[in-house]
Amino acid sequence: MTNKEKKIMAKAEGVTKNFSLYANQSEKLKSVFKGNQAEANFWALRGLSFEVEAGDVVGIVGTNGSGKSTLLNILSGVIPQTSGNLELNGSIGVVAINEGLNWELTGRENIRLKQIMMRNNMRQINKMMPDIIEFSELGDFIDQPVKDYSSGMRAKLGFSIVTHNDPDILIIDEALSVGDSNFSNKALGKIKEFIAQGKTIFFVSHDLKQVRQFTNKVMWIQYGEMLDFGPTKEVADEYAAFVKRLDQMSSQERDAYVEEQKAQQRQFKIDDLVTTLKAEDKSEEEIHSITKFRSFEGFGPFSLYGSLLIVILLMAYIVYHFVNGG
C-alpha cells in the first residue's frame, strides 16, 4: 500500500480549546444560563490542523503548558474541543499515569471495570485477566486497593490494561517515563509490537531521544499553536535547537517569553482563526463548520432555556402521575 492509499486515522481541522476563567462559582453558574460571561478566556489550543495516517507514530513535543495533554484529552474523548472538526477512525486506547483508575478498587477490580467499559464480556475478561496481571508485574498487589500503589505501579497497571485491548489508535502521555527500567523496557517492547503491526500511535514525551527512536513524525505544539508537523528528524532537530535557545536565556528573558505567549493565548479570538482559514481559501461553508462552537459554552441562551423547560415539564409530569397513583 502506497502512502497515497494509506487510511487517514485521525484528521483535525482548526481544533481549539477554550477554558473560561470565572471570578467565582456563582459567575460560573450564571454563565450556564446567560452564555459565556467569564472574566477571562484562556485558549489552550488555537486552531490545530493535521492528518495522521495508519501506521504513523507521532511524537508530540512542546514546553510545559503548551497544550500537549489537552490535545490528547480531546483525541481520547475526555473533553470536547471548543470548535473545529475532528475525525477518528478506530478504537482508542489511552496510556497515562492514573488514567481511568478507581483508587478505591483493587487492581483486579480495576481491570474488570476498564474491560467492561471497553465493552468486553465476562468470558473475554476472564480469558485475558491472567495475561494482564502477569504483564503488569504487580503480583500479590493486584488484590490491594490502587490508592496504596506507587505512581509506577499505577502506570504498570494502566499500561497493561490498555495494551491488552489491541486498540487501533494508542495514545501515550508520559506514562513510559514512570516505573522501573525493566518494565519500561518491556513496555517499549510492546510499543514496538504495535508499530510492527501498523498501529497508529500518539506519543507525548519530554525524552527527545525516545521520540527520535520510536516515531516517524513529530508534532510541535507551543502554547496552543502548531509550530511544525513533519518527519521526525527535521522537526526534532528544530525543537532541540529551540530548547537550547530557551535554556540560554536568563530567567528574566524566559519569564518575559512565557508571559508574552500566555498573553497571546488569552487574547486569541475565533475571528483570528477565520482570517487564517480565509487565507487558505476555505469556503464560507467550510469556515462555518470549523469555527462553530461545539463545547457546552457554545450553546445559546434559547437552547439552554428550552432544554431546561423540557426537563422541568418532564419532572412535573412524573411527580403528577406518582402523586395521583397513575
Annotated domain spans of the chain: 8-90+168-294, 101-161
Query: Reading across the β-sheet that carries 225-231, which strands appear in turn?
Result: 92-96, 169-173, 200-204, 57-61, 217-222, 225-231
Query: Reading across the β-sheet that carries 8-21, which strands appear in turn?
Result: 40-53, 8-21, 83-88
Lowest model confidence (mean pLDDT) among 6-20, 165-179, 312-326? 312-326
Rounded mean pLDDT of the chain?
A: 86
- Look at 173 and 36; give whichever has higher pLDDT: 173
- Please write the tens of the pLDDT for every residue from 190-209: 888 999 999 999 999 888 99
Stretch 242-260: mean pLDDT, rounded?
A: 96
Tell me how far apart the alpha carbons of residues 201 and 211 are, in angstroms, rounded to a whole number: 12
Report the first-to-last Cα separation within the chain, whole angstroms.
64
Task: Supply the pLDDT for residue 177.
Answer: 62
CATH 3.10.180.10 fits 8-90+168-294, yes or no: no
CA torsion 235-181-170-49 (nearest 10°) is: -20
Region class of 77: left (phi > 0), else alpha (psi between -120 and 50), else beta: left
- Please write the tens of the pLDDT for every residue from 140-190: 999 999 999 988 888 889 889 988 888 999 998 876 665 577 887 888 888
Contacts 24+ apart (CB under 8 A), 193-200: 194/163, 194/170, 195/55, 195/57, 198/54, 198/55, 199/55, 199/167, 199/168, 199/169, 199/170, 200/9, 200/10, 200/52, 200/53, 200/54, 200/55, 200/56, 200/57, 200/58, 200/90, 200/168, 200/169, 200/170
Cβ atoms within 10 A of the Cβ of 235, count?
A: 21
Task: Supply the pLDDT for residue 20.
Answer: 80
Maximal CA-CA distance, the chain: 77
Cβ atoms within 10 A of the Cβ of 219, count?
A: 24
Question: What kind and span of H or E run contains 312?
Answer: helix 301-323
Task: Supply the pLDDT for residue 299.
Answer: 47
CA torsion 115-160-78-49 (nearest 10°) is: -130
Task: Supply the pLDDT for residue 297.
Answer: 47
CB 60 within 8 A of CB 235: no
- Examine the pLDDT at 24 and tell me if it is beyond 90: no
